[in-house]
């Protein structure tokens, strides 16, 4: 199908790049893309073009209706016959008044207070209608809302700038390895930590809060040995429905079919969590403040008397005090509000002022890039994005591979948020009448007893997006599980 954006160029859009005899995409000296003008080394139909549909013309986001276009045409015609007016003189500022804001701001324009400065751009005619998107396999990526786009105004850069940081790295890796996707993926995974930190830092430009990068190290947040662990108790799941298993073993329950559901990008979703901004301060009187976040000491774990629902803080049952992070404590408070357990009794706390938006822009960029990659069938970018969020979560504690950020409290909170998100899914399934068979790690939910797909009246939407669940495996009990390929 001809692409309207390429009208007059003789280029026909093709989902596949021009390829060398070995089947890999052919590379050429950099040349301006015929769609967006950015340098590119690949060709489609013999002309420079970005692969995978990443390149979007500037007019793609501008709505254009017939009346607006007609008004623009009239304005253009008028400008052709009306002589240009002489430049207006700028009056001197009146004493006691503030000078007018400049009409053009640089990428690094600082925000004034908590409010972002808005560019005073000159009025321009309405853009032409966006070209029709070429057909691609896979689910359509979600279009960022106006609010989503506006959140990036404070950084002085559009969302496309951050997405381009990812796609440019992928294109460079493919070029360096002659289109070999496996070699390019391996190279990108090695760069995931520094590239991810660079992306995170750039999404923090214009942020209201300046977070502490290397706070004073607290003893209970320090590893006891090189390969050991610290004292924080994460709500790790390795749970089975004991009464169900006992009934199956006794033969009082017939054989059941179990579906294993998989959470998509669990650690990416867990980046949306309440994180402490500064260094943790000791609060000897304990208590919990929703405007703060950190680590909490409980004299004992809250009792859990629901055998058909997993314990929200995992399987550990040691007696005595426990140190829990923010995400786990908030989960316990939620369980208390649901009438499932007592409120957590907090005797001491180490907290700082909190925000749920610390990693939100970073998370949304990664989510959008992942959705685009799934839509385009771009496995290289998908694996690269996965490496960024997974290694970010695992190396911001005590890691020799990440020297840019040392926040073990963040690491525990993010990982615990992933466990908490899976618990929330199990509670939704239980409330919908399904039986929870088991919970594993951050992403596996084993269920039986009914339909789980929302399209068929169930509770979960099926798919590969972060808001969806996919079927990972099926097996029967009490027979031995047979894993699918």
CB 312 within 8 A of CB 335: yes
Q: Which residues neighbour 238 within 8 Å (Cβ) at sequence distance 6 or greater?
A: 314, 315, 439, 440, 441
What is the predicted pLDDT for the residue at 10?
A: 41
Q: Is residue 180 part of a domain?
A: no
Higher-pLDDT residue of 403, 72: 403
What is the predicted pLDDT for the residue at 55?
A: 59
DSSP tag of 19: B
pLDDT confidence tier of residue 180, bands split at 50, 70 and 90: very high
Domain boundary among 15, 43, 62: 62
The beta strands (E) that lie in 33-99 are given as: 39-40, 43-44, 47-48
pLDDT confidence tier of residue 23, bands split at 50, 70 and 90: low
pLDDT confidence tier of residue 22, bands split at 50, 70 and 90: low
Mean pLDDT of 213-218: 92
The separation between CA 197 and the C-alpha centre of its own chain, rounded to angstroms, equals 14
Q: Is residue 438 part of a domain?
A: yes
Q: Is residue 400 part of a domain?
A: yes
What is the predicted pLDDT for the residue at 28?
A: 81
Higher-pLDDT residue of 431, 108: 431
Mean pLDDT of 429-448: 97
Distance between CA atoms of residues 141 and 370, nearest Å: 9
What is the predicted pLDDT for the residue at 304?
A: 94
Range of weakest confidence among 43-57, 327-341, 434-448 = 43-57
Strand partners, 276: 354
Range of weakest confidence among 90-99, 324-333, 345-354 = 90-99
Distance between CA atoms of residues 11 and 47, nearest Å: 7
Mean pLDDT of 281-290: 96
Higher-pLDDT residue of 402, 135: 402
What is the predicted pLDDT for the residue at 84?
A: 42
**pLDDT surpassing 90 at residue 340:** yes
pLDDT confidence tier of residue 398, bands split at 50, 70 and 90: confident
Mean pLDDT of 94-115: 37
pLDDT confidence tier of residue 103, bands split at 50, 70 and 90: very low
pLDDT confidence tier of residue 367, bands split at 50, 70 and 90: very high
pLDDT confidence tier of residue 52, bands split at 50, 70 and 90: low
Range of weakest confidence among 125-134, 202-211, 336-345, 459-468 = 125-134
| Number of structural domains in the chain | 2
What is the predicted pLDDT for the residue at 96?
A: 41
Q: Is residue 95 part of a domain?
A: no
How many distinct helices (H) and strands (E) make up the chain? 11, 14
Higher-pLDDT residue of 1, 390: 390
Q: Characterize the bridge pairing of strands 444-448 and 256-263.
A: antiparallel
Distance between CA atoms of residues 264 and 267, nearest Å: 9
Q: Is residue 112 part of a domain?
A: no
For the four alpha carbons of 387, 390, 394 and 397, in that order, the dihedral sign comes to positive
What tokens appear for 321 in the block? Answer: 């005090």
Higher-pLDDT residue of 162, 95: 162
Distance between CA atoms of residues 134 and 151, nearest Å: 28
CB 470 within 8 A of CB 463: yes
**pLDDT surpassing 70 at residue 285:** yes
Q: Is residue 8 part of a domain?
A: yes
Q: In the chain, what's the furthest Cα-to-Cα distance?
A: 94
Mean pLDDT of 389-417: 95
Percent of the chain with pLDDT over 70: 73
Instruction: Specify the DSSP element, H or E, that contains 418.
Output: helix 408-431
Domain boundary among 16, 39, 62: 62
Residues of the domain holding 271: 219-477
Instruction: Specify the DSSP element, H or E, that contains 161.
Output: helix 159-176
Mean pLDDT of 226-248: 91
Mean pLDDT of 214-237: 89
* Closest C-alpha to 51, from 35, 62, 74, 72: 35
- 3-state DSSP helix/strand/coil % of the chain, to nearest 5: 35, 15, 50
* 136, 291, 327 from 211: Cα distances, Å: 41, 15, 19
Domain boundary among 62, 91, 115: 62
**pLDDT surpassing 90 at residue 174:** yes
* 225, 236, 347, 385, 467 from 300: Cα distances, Å: 26, 17, 10, 39, 34
pLDDT, mean over the chain: 80
Q: Is residue 120 part of a domain?
A: no
What is the predicted pLDDT for the residue at 319?
A: 84
For the four alpha carbons of 189, 193, 195 and 199, in that order, the dihedral sign comes to positive
* Closest C-alpha to 309, from 422, 474, 466: 422
pLDDT confidence tier of residue 60, bands split at 50, 70 and 90: very low
Instruction: Specify the DSSP element, H or E, that contains 354.
Output: strand 348-355
Higher-pLDDT residue of 479, 438: 438
């Amino acid at each position: 199908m001809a692409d309207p954006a390429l009208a007059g160029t003789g280029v026909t859009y093709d989902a596949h790049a021009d390829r060398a005899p070995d089947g890999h995409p052919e590379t050429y000296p950099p040349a301006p893309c015929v769609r967006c003008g950015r340098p590119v080394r690949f060709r489609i139909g013999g002309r420079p073009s970005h692969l995978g549909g990443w390149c979007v013309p500037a007019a793609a986001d501008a709505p254009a209706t017939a009346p607006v276009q007609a008004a623009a045409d009239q304005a253009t015609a008028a400008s052709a016959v009306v002589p240009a007016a002489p430049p207006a003189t700028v009056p001197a500022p009146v004493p006691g008044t503030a000078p007018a804001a400049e009409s053009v701001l640089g990428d690094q324009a600082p925000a004034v207070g908590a409010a972002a400065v808005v560019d005073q751009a000159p009025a321009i005619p309405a853009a032409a209608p966006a070209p029709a998107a070429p057909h691609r396999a896979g689910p359509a990526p979600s279009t960022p809302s106006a609010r989503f786009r506006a959140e990036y105004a404070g950084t002085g850069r559009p969302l496309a700038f951050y997405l381009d940081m990812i796609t440019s790295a992928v294109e460079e890796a493919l070029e360096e390895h002659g289109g070999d996707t496996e070699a390019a993926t391996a190279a990108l995974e090695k760069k995931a930590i520094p590239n991810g930190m660079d992306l995170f830092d750039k999404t923090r430009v214009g942020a209201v809060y300046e977070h502490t990068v290397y706070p004073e190290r607290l003893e209970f947040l320090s590893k006891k040995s090189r390969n050991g662990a610290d004292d924080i108790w994460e709500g790790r799941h390795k749970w089975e429905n004991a009464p169900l298993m006992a009934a199956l073993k006794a033969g009082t329950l017939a054989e059941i079919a179990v579906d294993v559901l998989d959470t998509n990008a669990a650690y990416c979703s867990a980046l949306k969590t309440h994180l402490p901004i500064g260094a943790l301060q000791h609060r000897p009187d304990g208590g919990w403040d929703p405007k703060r976040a950190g680590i909490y000491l409980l004299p004992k774990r809250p009792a859990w008397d629901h055998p058909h629902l997993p314990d929200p803080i995992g399987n550990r049952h040691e007696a005595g005090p426990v140190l829990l992070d923010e995400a786990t404590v908030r989960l316990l408070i939620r369980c208390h509000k649901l009438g499932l357990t007592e409120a957590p009794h907090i005797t001491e706390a180490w907290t700082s002022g909190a925000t749920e938006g610390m990693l939100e822009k970073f998370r949304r960029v990664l989510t959008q890039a992942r959705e685009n990659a799934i839509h385009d069938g771009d496995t290289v970018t998908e694996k690269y994005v996965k490496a960024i969020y997974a290694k970010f979560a695992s190396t911001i504690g005590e890691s020799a591979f990440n020297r840019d950020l040392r926040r073990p409290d963040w690491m525990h909170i993010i990982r615990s948020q992933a466990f908490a998100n899976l618990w929330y899914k199990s509670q939704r399934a239980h409330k919908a009448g399904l039986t929870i068979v088991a919970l594993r790690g951050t992403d596996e939910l084993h269920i039986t007893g009914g339909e789980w797909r929302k399209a068929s009246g169930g509770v979960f939407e099926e798919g590969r997006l972060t808001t969806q669940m996919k079927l990972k495996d099926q097996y029967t009990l009490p027979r031995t599980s047979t894993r699918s390929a």
